[in-house]
Every structure is written in C-alpha cells, then in structure tokens.
Homo-oligomer: A and B are copies of this chain.
Amino acid sequence: MPKNLSEQLLHELGSSIVQGERKPGELLPKVETLSEMKGVSRTVVRETMKGLSARRLIESSTRTGTVVRDREAWLWWDPDIISWAAAAEENQSFLMQLTEVRLAMEPAAVKLAAKNADEEDIATIRHRFDLLEQSVDNEDDWVEADAAFHEAILHASHNELMQSLIQTLQEGLYQSRHTTMRMLQRAGDNSRKMALDLHRDVMTAVIEGKEDEAMARMETLLHTVSHLLKEYEAEVKKEAPN
C-alpha cells in the first residue's frame, strides 16, 4: 500500500509504462488534465513526473508535452522498475534476463569472497552455515537461513557494488517467485540436504581461499537449484495444468 498520493500515482503510471500499456513515443496527458483525471493537485502530478523522469521513463519538453522514452534509456536497475517489470503479465523474458545476470554475478562475488574474506567474515559464514544445517528440517527457518548465508558470503567479497546489485536482483526474483521458492522448499528434505552439501562445498572453498573452486561450486549450486526448480514446476504443471 503506497503511503501518499504521488507514490500511488507513480506506481500507477510507472507500471503502465514498464508493462507496455503506454508505449515509447506515446504522449501523456498534460499536467492539468492528469490532475483533474486523478483528482489530485498539480503538485502531486509534478512530483510523480519527477519520479518518472528520474528513472528516465519519460521525457518532458515545453509545449510538446511529456512522452514515454525508449526502453534503452530506462534505468533498469531501479528497484521499482524491476518490481514493476517482474509483476508484469508477460514477464518470462524478464525473469530470464534477471537470472542471466545472477548467474554472472554470484559466482564472481564468491570468487572475490574467497580472495578477500577476513577472519571475521569467515566466522560469520561458519556461523550462518551452522544455522542452515540446523534448519534443514524446517521450511521457514531454511528460507531465512539460506538468505543469511548468501548474505554473509556476499559481504565477504568486500565489494559494496556487487552486494547492492545482487541484493536488488534477488528481491526482483524473490518477488515474483516466492511462492514457487517456498514450494521447492516443500518438495522434500532430499532437496535441502543436497543443497546443504553444495553450500558446504562453497563455504570450504571460500575459507581455504580457493578462488576458482569457490566460483565453480557456486555455479554448480545455482544450476542445481534452478534445475530442481524447473523439475518441480514441470511436475506441478502436469498435475494442475493452466
């Protein structure tokens, strides 16, 4: 639930643009008109416009009005834009793109972690892994512990930009998939036990400072999880087709 009028309107217009309802080149109604249409003051409309143009979704010029910009200009790594795109009806392609980025970044981050982790980082990682191990039988705990473990690894990379990037895309993936993810967790203890081993492998490589091995093992982990996920989705689809 949006807190104020301009955020509400921002969400409404932003979604309609990102989800393709309003297309690049299209002219938006003028401020005065929008103000009347939505029953808000010009100030609110103007703040909304400011938010949209800060994300480079629109471009305004005097007399001509305000038009939707080309997709190439959009600041895709804005959390709002990602969430709007992930919430779209036809978002398969977008989710795939997010996954492709993740597959490039997470292994790179782990490689850095293997290189840069200090004693404190390693202590945290060990601790988080213990928690993961203990929560292997509980769905909710597992999801939380898994996120915490990955967060500790990322933190050990000592690269704030990567952390921020991965966190943003995780949120994007999570948002549209959290039900699916939970379902995977429910798929059975076997999946979790297998995943636990893979996590341990990553951790060991990081602690021992074996960069390339850490990277390769993270790739294995991601591919395995994605494979499990697909398998499970196919199964669910078979049982209950659209």
Residues of B within 8 A of A159 (CB): 97, 100-101
Q: Are A101 and B164 in contact (CB under 8 A)?
A: no
Contact among B71, B97, B103, B164 with A77 in the assembled complex (CB-CB below 8 Å): B164
Interface hits, A184-234 → B, CB 8 Å? none
CA of A159 to CA of B76, assembled, Å: 11
| Chain A interface residue count, Cβ-Cβ cutoff 8 angstroms | 31
Please judge, given known A-B contacts A105-B105, A108-B104, whether A161 and B79 are in contact too, CB under 8 Å.
no
Q: Are B160 and A75 in contact (CB under 8 A)?
A: no
A-B contact pairs, 22 of them (CB 8 A): A47-B50, A50-B50, A71-B160, A72-B163, A75-B78, A76-B160, A76-B161, A76-B165, A77-B78, A77-B165, A94-B161, A100-B108, A100-B112, A100-B159, A100-B161, A100-B162, A101-B159, A101-B161, A103-B108, A104-B105, A104-B109, A165-B165
The 10 lowest CB-CB distance pairs between A and B, nearest first, are A104-B108, A76-B164, A77-B77, A97-B161, A97-B159, A76-B161, A101-B161, A104-B104, A100-B159, A104-B105
